[in-house]
Structure 1
């Protein structure tokens, strides 16, 4: 299954309805597969994946120019992630697209497996950046964009950042650098789900007014409902197809941490946890029922 990101013509309402169903289905697949894989590891980051599921679905299935048969395609779009603990959801997507057999994910987080709690670009096809410590993704994305410019490539670099990650100084150093070097093909996506490991983001260190801060660093800013998969798709398609070659873009995706499982949405402690097999089955039922009721 290849996705070249070329299906970006103006959609009819019927096309949008069908694509919404398809992309929402893939978002819920990301959630349910995350549950399955964390059952193997016995601990993991459910809620961090769930808040980003629609964004990952839109990016990988409808926006980015990628080719699973050629993971190192020089002209491919790049995706880097600062909140690397959400890697389990990305692994599910890459297997679904055909980067590697889905059965290989059955080794998730086991000794010797290429699939760990964070992504490793040296071990997993389709991973462009090995993330671990929060705060480095945007710097790497800026380097990729500069390299692309120097080599005459027109790819876009998408960098997903957690809102707690906004407390890292290196993020703002990278923001300054991107504006200075006029990296219009860098699109940062802030997953503004409101929570980090230690609780409410704004109780730990307040980050608002977030949009104004990015603008003050020389970026254009777009805000979107991060769970409206068509709004996310259309926003990212438009920004990719109409880059401002002098100005990088920050998309603030307003989301709910743990989206899809009601008690995870209400309890920030699910940043890291483990569902018993019975609770996992109930969570999957809730996700699937929620999808049917959309």
Structure 2
């Protein structure tokens, strides 16, 4: 069995995929496969991938063509067809470092006999080779639940590689008519089951936040995929430590108000106590004060 499956969901990114493909060709080892899920593109994505499939000799490439359904559905489908023991999700506009697969393979060897560790992760960097996010000072690695990253100096996007069997057990939820749900929905659910990730202080992934990409459109995506957003916040309210769970709920409250969710309905929806409601009001007030002070 292969060690690693690289999964790349893509939508109209044929002009960018070549950079990722080149970074895969430049790997120091080739114990991996690459699954590209064309999520209903209307550019020449599939034609480009088919040319690479025909010519590539170092590693296997698979192409899945499907109707547009969002990144999370594409990942679910890719995981089902993965031959690797671990899954590395790499976006179509990003690249990995030349030694990424070799390093990940070594990390996997270090944790494979520990049933509580279900993933390894490196760091992400930007196009200027600057580290994205933070990492605990003086540490080579730490074992931490995804839901506890905020209190362990692990903020910012990382480069997680999860066991395929755990992603099969906990797939991304799919809501009819919605095309987006945050990846933390699955990562935090896995945390709630008691599993941890081993986070390493090493950049293995480089990316950019493109205009009109998923990150750039986060508020719009929350509004247009409200059921999935509600599901995510409910889970975070349980999984995240205080006060981060209430901050997430406070952000949700502002958007829910536009959808006709008053505080009474919110209390019932999230099974909140009177104390919870009081804390939510206080934290929402503090957020507004901070926002106003920051704009002056």
TM-score class, shorter-chain normalisation, is under 0.3
Look at both structures and tell me which one has the larger radius of gyration over its CA atoms. Answer: 2
Higher relative contact order, structure no. (Cα contacts within 8 Å, ≥ 6 residues apart):
1
TM-score (norm 1): 0.25
TM-score norm. by structure 2 comes to 0.25
Determine which structure has the larger helix proportion and give its number.
1
